[in-house]
Amino acid sequence: MNLKQLDKYRWEVPKSGRMRVPGLIYSDSSMMKAVQKEEAFKQVANVATLPGIFKESLAMPDIHWGYGFPIGGVAAFDWDKGIISPGGVGYDVNCGVRLAGTSLIETDIHNKLEELANALHQGVPCGVGSTGAIKLSKKDEKKVLEQGSQWAVKQGYGRSRDIEHTEDRGCMHNADPDAVSKRALERGRKQLGTLGGGNHFLEIGVVDKVYDEGTAAIFGLFKGQVTLMIHSGSRGLGYQVCDDSLAFMTKHVRKLGIKLPDRQLSCAFIQSKEGQQYFNTMACAANYAWANRQILMHLAENMFLKAINISPKNLGMQLVYDVCHNIAKKEDHMINGKKRTVCVHRKGATRSFAPGHPAVCEDFRSEGQPVIIPGDMGTASYVLAGTETAMEKTFGSTCHGAGRVLSRKGAKKASKGRAIHRELADKGIFVRWTGRATLAEEMPDAYKNITKVVNVVHGAGISRKVAKLRPVVVVKG
Long-range contacts, 354-363 (Cβ 8 Å, 24+): 354/386, 354/387, 354/388, 354/390, 354/391, 354/396, 355/385, 355/386, 355/387, 355/388, 357/386, 357/391, 357/396, 359/168, 360/386, 361/164, 361/165, 361/321, 362/164, 363/164, 363/165, 363/218
**Cβ atoms of 364 and 372 closer than 8 Å:** no
Instruction: Give the pLDDT confidence of 209-222 residue by residue, as tens digits.
Output: 999 999 999 999 99
133 pLDDT exceeds 80?
no
What is the number of domains present in the chain? 1
Q: Is residue 252 among the annotated active site residues?
A: no
> How far is it, in rounded angstroms, from Cα 158 to Cα 396?
29
CB half-sphere exposure, 326, CA atoms < 13 A: 31
pLDDT digits 0-9 by tens, 177-212: 999 999 999 999 999 999 999 999 999 999 999 999
DSSP state of 447: B
Per DSSP bridges, beta strands 370-373 and 96-105 are unpaired
| pLDDT score recorded for residue 131 | 83
* Beta-carbon contacts of residue 452 (< 8 Å; ≥ 6 apart): 28, 30, 31, 61
| pLDDT at position 263 over 90 | yes
Q: Give per-residue pLDDT as tens, 299-354.
A: 999 999 999 999 999 999 999 999 999 999 999 999 999 999 999 999 999 999 99
Q: 3-class secondary structure for 112-124?
A: HHHHHHHHHHHHC
Residue 100 reports pLDDT greater than 90: yes
DSSP of 266-314, one letter per residue?
Answer: --EETTSHHHHHHHHHHHHHHHHHHHHHHHHHHHHHHHHHHHHT--HHH
Examine the pLDDT at 62 and tell me if it is beyond 90.
yes
- Kindly state the average pLDDT of the residues 116-133: 90
Given the residues 64, 121, 325, 400, the one annotated as active site: 400
AA letter at 248: F
Q: Average pLDDT, whole number, for the chain?
A: 96
CATH of the domain at 160: 3.90.1860.10
Amino acid letter, residue 103: S
Model pLDDT, residue 281: 98
Which H/E stretch holds residue 383? strand 381-385
Nearest to 27 by CA among 296, 311, 405, 302: 405
**Residue 393: other Cβ atoms inside 10 A:** 19
Q: Which of the residue ranges 129-133, 203-207, 231-235 would you say has the lowest mean pLDDT?
A: 129-133
| Whole-prediction pTM | 0.97
Domain that holds residue 395: 4-476
Is the model's pLDDT at 257 over the cut of 90?
no
Query: What is the model's pLDDT at position 123?
Result: 94
The Cα 226–Cα 294 span in angstroms is: 19
CB atoms within 10 A of CB 222: 15
Confidence of residue 422 (pLDDT cuts 50, 70, 90): very high
Mean per-residue pLDDT for 70-79?
98
SS3 content of the chain, % helix, strand, coil (to 5): 40, 25, 35
Coil, helix or strand at residue 381: strand
Distance CA(166)–CA(144), nearest Å, equals 16
Question: What is the pLDDT at residue 185?
Answer: 98
